[in-house]
Amino acid sequence: MIPISWYLLLSAFLFACGVTGFLIKRNIITLFMSIELMLNGVNLSFIAFATRLGTLDGHIFVFFVMVVAAAEAAVGLAIIISVYRTRETLNVDRVNLLKL
Amino acid sequence: MNSIYFQPWLIPILPLLGALTNGLFGKRFTKTAVAAIALTATAASFLVACVQAVILLQSGLPALEQYYGTWIQTGDFSVNFGIYLDHLSLIMMLVVTGVGFLIHVYSVAYMEHEGGYYRFFTYLNFFMFFMLTLVLANNYLLMFVGWEGVGLASYLLIGFFFLKDSAANAGKKAFITNRVGDFGFLIALFLLIQHFGTLHYGTLFVIQNSALSHMPVEATAGVLTAIGLLMLVGACGKSAQIPLYVWLPDAMEGPTPVSALIHAATMVTAGVYMVCRSNAIFSRAPIALLAVTIIGTLTSFFAATIGITQTDIKRVLAYSTVSQLGYMFMAAGVAAYSASIFHLMTHAFFKALLFLGAGSVIHGIGGEQDMRKMGGLRKYMPWTFWTMLIATLAISGIPPFAGFFSKDEILWQAFSSPHGSKIFWFFGVITAFMTSFYMFRLIFLTFTGEYRGAKPEAGSSHGSHDDQGHHAPHESPWLMLAPLVLLGVLSIIGGWVGIGNRFEHFLDPVIQKVSVEQSVAQNGEAVTKPVSDGEGAAEESKGLENILMGVSVLVAFSGLGLAWFLYVKRPELPSRIAEASGGLYTLVLNKYWIDELYSAAIIGPLVALSRVVLWQTIDQKVIDGTVNESAVAARDVSQIIRQQQSGLIRSYAGWIAAGAAAVVAYMVWMGTR
């Protein structure tokens, strides 16, 4: 049996990739993908714990996370399209009007 | 006293009503209406005062008192609104309302062509209200209200021509100088409260005199001495004594009736009144009394010397007023309070007359105040001449005019009183000589010889007196002359009440008898003065009194003679004498540079201190600095913090990640601990 620490390490690696990608990439779609990566990293540790402890709670949580992520993806993609239509760019550093 | 006619509160209230009516609505009234209201108020006040005087005298009681409710009540200490009418306040009240009324009448004509007619009469009535509060109050606090009120009225009236810088400054000077004195008076009141628990005249003086708590005469400086000296500071401010006299000559910037009413006849005598009112305190504090005498003597002497050299007719009179007030202080200081009040009364008559006469002269020649540009006015304004001559004879102490009796009484008391001394008498006589000299100098310069004034061009402005330009000197209207004549009569007969010491006995109930021998013995002096304990001593003292009287009359006539010789017979001499005396003349002409000395020694450093320390350091640096710097600090901090809201999503994300990492690190650390 694969030890739980391996799942957790993979999960942490995925989450770290997501954070790094979010911080260093500029394209909004890439940021979006980074967010999905972070969510799935977390999902993986949920599943790993749920399997290990033999409960259903973790599975249910993962479903909720996936539902929210789907909804977020729908709204987010709509926002991205609308941003691209008005600003003709997907560079997140240039979408910086919301400031003092 | 239950007579329904005893309503002394009406005396101050009537002028207050006049002031309120004129002050609130006067702008819409005609000049006649304004004058009618002011005159009615004052005349009614005078009539009521006469009625109250008759009631008091018929009652045969030493004093009548009436209460109108409590003013302040804290613990054991309480102050009432009340009126205290005894022989002292009776005299003051009659002088204030009587002379005040005459000056109101005079002002009607004098102020005819001035702006702010209603304002003038409002202030004048306002002054009457406070002055009467001052003299009629039954406790020191109410007296202090009047005291401050007359100061305010004086300020307003000195600065009446407030568009002139000199008038506005003179007003400020008077007000601020008086504050110095009021400071002393106020502390004296605090001491009274602390040691006696009351400010009520009756209670206060009974406490001191009762067998139980009899206050002895203080041999050394004690609490009564402190109170007396502090009161003297207050009196010096109000009554223009050394070292606080400097405001009075400048106060001549006000209209002439104001100089007559406030700065000669009534307000400036408030200090004398206060000292005499507090005789129970002063008589028990020989050191304070001595200070009063010394200050009075010095003031009367120095002011008289300055008066000799002045050329502005009103300034001569101003210094003469300071000098005469010095006489009153001298008398009060030798515990001859009745002589002091007697001189106060006669002085009110003849000095008011002199000022009104001077006003008439100034009015008649179109605003000129310099005596060197007058002369020969006798034939143009005979009424003014004759009335002023009477006043001059009175002030010079020539019998049988009013001033002779009061001044002679003061000199005699200065000589013979147990508190007196030959030195004071000597200075008094010298001053009397100078008084006679400078007053007749004024008369000769103004009324005899040839008219030296230039023909005033039409429409020229005359400083304080905005006239339409006169072509020749002319006599004043009858409305101005009538008060002159009445005051002239009073200046002649006003002193006769003093014959046979009647005036002195009239004030007996007011003056507490403090054992003289005790006082002198405790003062550390041997009893050398002739104490009238036998027939022979009384005879001897009577003879001495007559000799001294002869001396003072002689001195008055020699002053007259010298003035006549210098200004009529040999008019070229004065300037030669002035040249010959050189530095001394310049010194006196410049009033001993007292004003300059004060501005260098006190005002300059004070202004510099205020400017550098209070304004530029404390106000600008500390207070403004605190406010401004905290605003600047808030702005700078915000400037740093606002950088965080960059609009860059990745920057926000970075902060969130860092925060999350910090939380995780914290929890890990907590878990492993």
Using the Cβ of A80 and the Cβ atoms of chain B, whether some distance falls under 8 Å is answered with no
**Count of beta carbons in the 10 Å neighbourhood of residue B624:** 11
- How far apart are the CA of A65 and the nearest CA of chain B, in angstroms? 19
Write down the ipTM of this complex.
0.82
- Using CA coordinates, name the residue in chain A closest to B642: A100
Which chain B residue has the Cα nearest residue A97?
B647
- Distance from the Cα of B180 to chain A's closest Cα (Å) equals 59
Residue B642 has pLDDT above 70, yes or no: yes
Domain A4-92 fold is: Helix Hairpins (1.10.287)
CA–CA dist B324, B303 (Å, integer)? 9
More confident call, B175 vs B509: B175
Task: Say yes or no for a CB contact (<8 Å) between A99 and B649.
Answer: no
Tokens of A15: 């989450």
State how far the Cα of B514 lies from the Cα of B419, in Å rounded to an integer: 12
For residue B621, the distance in angstroms to the closest alpha carbon of chain A comes to: 33
> Are A92 and B657 an interchain contact pair (Cβ–Cβ within 8 Å)?
no
Model confidence at B516, pLDDT cuts 50, 70, 90, reads: very low
Of B645, B646, B653, the CB nearest to A22: B653
Which residues from A are below 8 Å from B646, CB to CB?
96, 99
Q: Is A56 on the interface with B (CB under 8 A)?
A: no
Which one, of B147, B107, B102, B112, lies nearest residue B127 by Cα?
B147
| Cβ atoms A48, A7 nearer than 8 A | yes
Q: What percent of chain A shows pLDDT beyond 70? A: 99
Quick check: helix, strand or coil at residue B310?
Answer: coil
C-alpha triplet B128, B134, B138: angle, nearest 5°: 135
Cα distance between the two ends of chain B: 96
pLDDT of residue B457: 47
Smallest Cα distance from B660 to chain A, Å: 11
B518 pLDDT band, cuts 50/70/90, is very low
- Residue of chain A whose alpha carbon sits nearest to that of B650: A23
Whether A17 has its CB under 8 Å from any CB of chain B: the answer is: no
Phi, psi of B84 (to 5 degrees): -120, 115
Say how far residue B69 (Cα) sits from the centre of its chain: 30
What is the C-alpha end-to-end distance of chain A, expressed in Å? 55
Closest approach of A44 to chain B, Cα-based (Å): 19
pLDDT at B35: 92
B344 vs B468, more confident = B344
Comparing alpha-carbon positions, the chain A residue that sits nearest to B647 is: A96
- The confidence score (pLDDT) of residue B667 equals 94
Q: What is the mean pLDDT of chain B?
A: 86
Cα B299 from Cα A89, distance rounded (Å): 96
Cα A38 to the center of its chain, rounded Å: 4
pLDDT bin (cut points 50, 70, 90) of residue B130 is: very high
Among candidates B351, B173, B185, which has minimal Cα distance to B273?
B185
Q: What is the per-residue pLDDT for B357?
A: 92
Whether A19 has its CB under 8 Å from any CB of chain B: the answer is yes
Q: Which of B50-59, B409-418, B452-461, B646-655 has the lowest mean pLDDT?
A: B452-461
* Residue B514 predicted with pLDDT over 80: no
pLDDT in tens, B273-292: 999 999 888 888 889 999 99
Q: Quick check: bond before B400 cis, omega within 30?
A: yes
Percent of chain B with pLDDT over 70: 92
pLDDT at residue B459, as a whole number: 42
The answer to whether B117 touches B125, Cβ cutoff 8 Å, is no
- Residue B89 and residue B68: Cα distance in Å, rounded? 18
Task: Say which amino acid occupies B220.
Answer: T
- What residues in B contact A95, CB-CB < 8 Å? 649
What is the DSSP code (8-state) at residue B619?
A: I
pLDDT at position B534 is 47
**A2 interfacial to chain B (CB closer than 8 Å):** no
Q: Measured between alpha carbons, how far is residue B583 from residues B26, B305, B504, B566, B578 in Å? A: 52, 14, 44, 20, 9
Contact between chains at B648 and A100 (C-beta distance less than 8 A): no
Residues near B21 by beta carbon (within 8 Å), at least 6 away in sequence: B37
**How confident is the model over B257-286, as a mean pLDDT?**
90
More confident residue, A78 or B570: A78
Instruction: Identify the closest residue of chain B to A99 by CA–CA distance.
Output: B647
Residue of B nearest to A24 (CA): B650
Q: Is residue B85 within 8 Å of residue B56, measured between CB atoms?
A: yes
What string of H, E and C letters represents the secondary structure of B115-160?
CCHHHHHHHHHHHHHHHHHHHHECEHHHHHHHHHHHHHHHHHHHCC
**Amino acid B535: pLDDT:** 52
Pairing assessment for the beta strands B63-74 and B77-86 based on DSSP bridges: antiparallel
pLDDT reported for residue B521: 40
Facing B650 at nearest CB: one of A92, A97, A98? A92
Nearest CA in chain B to A27: B650
Chain B residue with Cα closest to A26: B650
Query: Is the model more confident about B120 or about B519?
Result: B120
- The pLDDT tens digits for B170-219 are 999 999 999 999 999 999 999 999 888 888 888 888 777 765 556 667 66
What pLDDT shows up at residue B469?
Answer: 46
Q: Which residues in chain B are closer than 8 Å to A12, comparing Cβ atoms?
A: none
* Number of CB atoms found within 10 A of residue B314's CB: 26
CA distance B649 to chain A (A): 7
CA pair distance B285, B653, nearest whole angstrom: 88
Q: Tell me, what's the pLDDT at B525?
A: 40
Q: Which pTM was predicted?
A: 0.79
* Closest approach of A94 to chain B, Cα-based (Å): 8
Q: Which two tokens stand for residue B390?
A: 């009477």
Helices (H), B397-526: 402-416, 422-447, 478-493, 502-506, 516-522
State the angle between helix axes of B478-493 and B337-364 in degrees (0 to 180), rounded to the nearest 10.
150
The confidence score (pLDDT) of residue B573 equals 78
Question: Which DSSP symbol is given to A27?
Answer: B
pLDDT at B123: 93
Alpha carbons B160 and B263: distance in angstroms, whole number: 14
Chain A and chain B share a number of CB contacts under 8 A equal to 27
Check CB contact of A22 with chain B, cutoff 8 Å: yes
Mean pLDDT estimate for chain A: 90
| Interval B165-174 mean pLDDT | 91
On the question of pLDDT at B1 being above 80, the answer is no
Each residue's pLDDT tens digit, A13-60 = 999 999 999 999 989 999 999 999 999 999 999 999 999 898 999 999
Residue of A8, A15, A20, A22 to mutate for B, most B C-beta atoms under 10 A: A22
CB-nearest partner of B647 from A26, A31, A97? A97
Domain ranges (residues) in chain A: 4-92
Q: Are A39 and A87 in contact (CB under 8 A)?
A: no
Q: What is the pLDDT of residue B623?
A: 92
pLDDT tens, residue by residue, B544-595:
888 888 888 898 899 888 888 888 888 787 788 887 877 788 888 888 888 8
Whether the pLDDT of residue B520 is over 50: the answer is no
Of the pLDDT bands very low, low, confident and very high (cuts 50, 70, 90), residue B517 is very low
Nearest to residue B296, comparing CAs of B316, B276, B280? B276
pLDDT digits (tens, 9 = 90+) for B66-125: 888 899 888 888 898 999 999 999 999 999 999 999 999 999 988 888 888 899 999 999
Pairwise CB contact (< 8 Å): A93 & B642: no
Q: Report residue B335 as tokens.
A: 């515990």
Neighbours of B628 (CB within 10 A): 12
Q: Do A100 and B642 touch (CB under 8 A)?
A: yes
Contact B101, B42 (CB under 8 A): yes
Contact present, B174 and B158 (Cβ < 8 Å): yes
**Chain A interface disruption, residue of B650, B651, B664, most A CBs within 10 A:** B650
Q: Determine if the peptide bond prior to B243 is cis (ω within 30°).
A: yes
| Identity of the residue numbered A32 | F
The dihedral formed by the CA atoms of B315, B320, B322 and B326, expressed in degrees to the nearest 10: 170
Cβ atoms of B84 and B202 closer than 8 Å: yes
pLDDT at B530 over 60: no
Residue B629: pLDDT band with limits 50, 70, 90? very high
Across A35-39, B142-146, B471-475, least confident range:
B471-475
